[in-house]
Structure 1
């Protein structure tokens, strides 16, 4: 890093879909991953969380799983930034972040429209790192012996 350059760190972006009939062990795995991801310098987590009974104005829920979800958001210092209901008057599609001012744009829409937002992260361009495995140079001999 050169002189005068700020350490911008990395932005972690995640997408999550919670089906209404999700298993209990999957909840706990999600909460563990959320705890790890929220320690990032900048986190944006978006998705369809399917918690129609959460009251975002009061930050309350009537059932155990939505209440546990709210508790996890609070424990990990995350903020929910979608402002308008998306489906049947409920906020099911959420954008969570751990850094104020990181997400901007039009975050209210219906189920049939696109929610558009920008991740605002300094002036530098984001660098994408994609790892691709090269199977052409792999040694498949041990696998053939097992078969």
Structure 2
């Protein structure tokens, strides 16, 4: 994958020698550079960890559509959720 340049150099997850920490450092460096240049910077954090365990995926997708997210973002999230399983833990069972 690396030799054929399938993975971009900006990819940090699941890449040898890179991690969440290197991603955070690169992100911080780039955004502070833009701010120093007087450019506008918008950052959106998405944390779906609780939603995956508490809401049916079809309901979550419906709510995201109603919130006004563009169709490509909703499709990206829907594709990411596709095939993932959910489970509940009740007193260790």
Tell me the TM-score normalised to structure 2 length.
0.28
Greater strand fraction, Structure 1 or Structure 2: 1
User: Is the helix fraction higher in 1 or 2?
Assistant: 2
Larger RCO: 1 or 2 (CA < 8 Å, sep 6+): 1
* Largest Rg, 1 or 2: 1
